[in-house]
Structures are given as structure tokens and as C-alpha cells.
Amino acid sequence: MLRHRFQPGRLVAGLFLILAGVIYAGDAGGVWETPWFVVIPVVVGGLCLAGAVGVVARAVHRRRGALSSASAADEPRADLPRR
């Protein structure tokens, strides 16, 4: 059983921030040479993409929730006491 709802926007944001960390770590370790301004578009682009993914995911969750709650409204809820 899931403890919380899957949030793909946070996943995308995390992946882009990890990518920025890998870019800086590679530069600091001497594996490659990275100009200072390269990470800015990676982080900003990742956050914008994460925001767009979050909006789409929320719209899908709300739509699926509205459809499932309409069918669930006909059935009695087990967690509520009956009078």
C-alpha cells in the first residue's frame, strides 16, 4: 500500500537537480571543464518542466478523482458509522 500519492513533478525536479550536482561534481573532480553559466539553464529548465509536469499530473489526478468519486457516491462508505 502506498503511503502517499506519486508526484511526478517532484521526480523531474529532483532528477534535474541531481544532474546539476553531477555537472558540478565532474567539474570539481577534474573530469571535465564546465563554464559557470551552464548549470543555470539546467536548473531553471528543470524547474519549469517540473512545474508543467506537476500541473498536468494534478489535472489528471483531479479528473480521475472526480470520475471515481462519482461512482463511489452511489456506494456507502465503510469508514463512516451508520445511523
How high is the pLDDT of residue 74? Answer: 55
pTM of full prediction above 0.85? no
**Measured distance CA(66)–CA(81) in Å, rounded:** 24
User: Consecutive 10-residue runs of the chain (83 residues): their mean pLDDT?
Assistant: 87 97 96 94 98 95 75 58 60
How high is the pLDDT of residue 47? Answer: 98
Please report the DSSP string for 18-83 in residue order: HHHHHHHHHHHTTSS---TTSHHHHHHHHHHHHHHHHHHHHHHHHHHHHHHHHHHTTSPPSSSPP-
- Retrieve residue 77's grid coordinates: 462508505
**Measured distance CA(65)–CA(58) in Å, rounded:** 10
How high is the pLDDT of residue 75? Answer: 58
Number of neighbouring beta carbons within 10 Å of residue 62: 10
How high is the pLDDT of residue 10? Answer: 96
